[in-house]
Amino acid sequence: MCRELEPTTGYVAKNAHCVMARFHQHFVDQINMDLTPLEYMQSEFPDIITPEPFRAALGRFGVSGRLQMTPMKTLSDGQKSRVVFAWMAFQQPHFMILDEPTNHLDIESIDALAEAITDFPGAVVVVSHDLRLIAQIAEEIWICDKGEVKRFNGDIADYKEHVQLEIKRMEADYLKKAKK
């Protein structure tokens, strides 16, 4: 989807007008940690001359006041995540990819993220191990296992039950083999 890899068969087509924003679980590797959040936003959107739109965008995500002028390397990982979310929102995307977006968030922030995802009018793909987030947002669950991707019919509670049954089945198989 991000065009980092090309398909070995078939093709991937993206509408030329589609704006995509991505939250990468390793976002820290992509941001200049010497910049302040305000400087980062200005560097990403050089056509906007005044800082006010960036201040407002960062403030909506809880990065306000002196935090906007503090070097990123001194911010907590949760605060850095909020800067990235502000950057994403500022792009006004049609499509978002969120790769482990809750890694550095507290419960209140996870709930706010879930609400924002639910209210988002575009398309969202979320890759997460956070069952709390998945339970709040998932319309479909897709399982990646043994080189295959399949749609799971059920909600996250059904999936948890499925995994528990699989573990019990694997344990029983292991015990049978151990007895032989």
Task: Yes or no: say if 93 and 23 are a contact pair by the CB < 8 Å rule.
Answer: no
Residue 164 within a domain: no
What SS3 state is found at 20? strand
Q: What whole-number distance in Å separates Cα of residue 85 and Cα of residue 55?
A: 14
pLDDT, tens digit (0-9, with 9 covering 90-100), for 58-91: 999 999 999 999 999 999 999 999 999 999 999 9
pLDDT, tens digit (0-9, with 9 covering 90-100), for 105-145: 889 989 999 999 999 999 999 999 898 899 999 888 888 88
Residue 175 within a domain: no
User: Based on the structure, what is the number of domains in the chain?
Assistant: 1
Q: What is the pLDDT of residue 165?
A: 93
- Residue 59's domain spans which residues? 20-139
Q: What whole-number distance in Å separates Cα of residue 145 and Cα of residue 170?
A: 15
Please give the structure tokens belonging to residue 91.
């792009």
- Under DSSP, the state recorded for 69 is G
Q: Which amino acid is at 167?
A: I
CATH number of the domain where residue 89 is located:
3.40.50.300
- Under DSSP, the state recorded for 14 is -
Q: Which of 73, 15, 3 is nearest to 39 (CA)?
A: 73
Please give the structure tokens belonging to residue 109.
């922030």
Residue 91 within a domain: yes
Task: Yes or no: say if 101 and 23 are a contact pair by the CB < 8 Å rule.
Answer: yes
Residue 123 within a domain: yes
